[in-house]
Chain A
Amino acid sequence: DIQMTQSPSTLSASVGDRVTITCRASQSISSWLAWYQQKPGKAPKLLIYKASSLESGVPSRFSGSGSGTEFTLTISSLQPDDFATYYCQQYNSYPGWTFGQGTKVEIK
């Protein structure tokens, strides 16, 4: 199985900060990586697919980059609505989708 490792596990930031979350795959997954946002008590929401493609309706302050084994999710200017937990997911290996352990973005 492909293992996905996110860092950091928790991130404290202020409104307006630039935030970067890293996701590393245990082997190459090309660009088959998605990012999700999850708020407490809610289902995950797709933000980014194919490493850098923005899902319809997602604000442009979210962006994704990377390929192979290293990927990043960047929020260019953190907004109050962005405090949540973020997960990466590989979909190169099928069936057998795997998620990172999550990164919680907290208010500093």
Chain B
Amino acid sequence: GDSVTQMEGPVTLSEEAFLTINCTYTATGYPSLFWYVQYPGEGLQLLLKATKADDKGSNKGFEATYRKETTSFHLEKGSVQVSDSAVYFCALSDRGDYKLSFGAGTTVTVRA
């Protein structure tokens, strides 16, 4: 079945450091890929998405490129802030519908 594997955390960084969170997927078709973020005490919210190979999703300084050849969708940000401290979830939708398969989440803590 469909699945998402993302790097285990926690990840601790200093402000202005470079962040990368690895995500790889397994799917039978041509999935859409997503990154969701969960700030402390809040629900998940969509951060960015890509719907086909080579698409790049971007939002709030974060980027991720849909790599079909490596079945990956790694999340990157060039200079993190304390406010980026959160749990990040990689997810996919493989059936052209609304049901998502999520990874286990990666906790990121940014220190001033």
Q: Are A and B bound to each other?
A: no
Taking Cβ atoms with an 8 Å cutoff, the residues of B that contact A are none
Taking Cβ atoms with an 8 Å cutoff, the residues of A that contact B are none
